Structures are given as C-alpha cells and as structure tokens.
Amino acid sequence: MHRTLAYTIFFIVLVLLQAFLFDNLNLSIYIYPLVYTAFIILLPIQTPRIAVLLLGFAIGVAVDAVSGTAGLHTIASLASAFCRPMMLRLSIGKEEANEGGIPNSVKLGTGAFLRYSSVFIFIHCLVFFSFEALSWSYFHLTLVRILFSSAVTVALVYCTQLLFTPGQLQKTRKTQ
C-alpha cells in the first residue's frame, strides 16, 4: 500500500507526458510512442488481475480524454492489461511470479524484462494501430507503424523503468 502514492504520481505524469510531449513529437508518421503503457507494465507482480484490468481501463480513458481520441487508447490498454498476467507467467516463470515485487529490469533481469515488455507493447500497439486504421487496404503501412512505434516505445519504457530501480539496486548490493 505504501506504493499507492508513487503509482498515482506516476499515472498522472505519464498521462501528461503522453498528451503534451509524445502526441506532439511528430518525428515521423510511423512513430507514435505509447509511453503510458509503462504504468501497466510496472504494476507490482502480485496486483490482482481485476485491479490490473481496471487500472488499464483508467489510464486508457485518461489518455483518450486528453488527446481527443474516442476510445482508441482504452481499447488497446484493456487488451494489453488483460493479457499481462499471462505474459508475466510466460516470461519469468510461475515461481518467480508468485514472489511478487515490481517487474523491472533488476527484479526480472534485463533480458526477461525486455522480453516481457516488448511482447506487452507489441500487443498494445497491434490493437491500437489496427483499430486506428480499420482497413486492410493499407495493411503494410499499419504494420510498419506497429513495428516502429513498438520499438521506440520499448526503448522509452526501458528508460522509464530505471526510475523504479535505484532502491532495489542498493538493497541487492547490501545483501551481497
């Protein structure tokens, strides 16, 4: 429970960053980073499935409201939040999943974290851009958009999750 405040601040910061920075970045028509996914990715492992789903819904609605997209972010974040427990189990194994904690690169290891977050972000981008395009006629363009945006988002989420590691790094050093 002591992390509630930290996660609330994280939620607000991510929504504002998405609206004012990443919505307006305009690097290319193929790159649209969905950095707010970091919030769902970094929820503690032991968070109940129902809470993950509802929080995914909440951040989707919030991002939709500030960037003016009608339900698009909500559709994507609901889908990815629903699949999260499955992805966690697949990428880190059941025993470690039962242990709990924040699923960052220190806890899972860099390889496992990248595996987990890129699958998560890929699913999110897949749903997001498929619903955005809603047609097969420009399928190849949508696919390029999904791949490029996923790659950039994974890089940004990796940087973001470093915020959640310093305390843990010290702890592991002390125990060693």
59 burial type by CB count under 10 A (0-12 exposed, 13-18 middle, 19+ buried) = buried
DSSP state of 24: G
Residue 125: strand, helix, or coil: helix
Which two structure tokens, joined as six digits, stand for 1?
Answer: 């429970």
The span of 23-31, 91-99, 106-114, 118-126 binding other proteins (CB under 8 A) equals 23-31
Query: For residue 70, how many other CB atoms are within 10 A of its CB?
Result: 8
19 binds other proteins (CB under 8 A): yes
CB of 78 to other proteins, least distance (A): 5
Instruction: Tell which positions 121-160 bind other proteins, by CB under 8 A.
Output: 131-133, 138, 141, 145, 149
Interface region with other proteins, contact rule CB under 8 A, candidates 17-25, 35-43, 93-101, 159-167: 17-25
Under rule CB under 8 A, residue 11 binds other proteins: no
**73 exposure class (CB count in 10 Å sphere: 0-12, 13-18, 19+):** buried
| Closest by CA position to 122, among listed 89, 164, 87, 93 | 87
**Distance of closest approach, residue 65 Cβ to other proteins, in angstroms:** 5
Contact between 31 and other proteins per CB under 8 A: yes
Residues that bind other proteins in the complex, under the rule CB under 8 A: 16, 19-20, 23-24, 26, 28-32, 49-50, 53, 57, 60, 64-66, 68-72, 74-75, 78-79, 82, 131-133, 138, 141, 145, 149
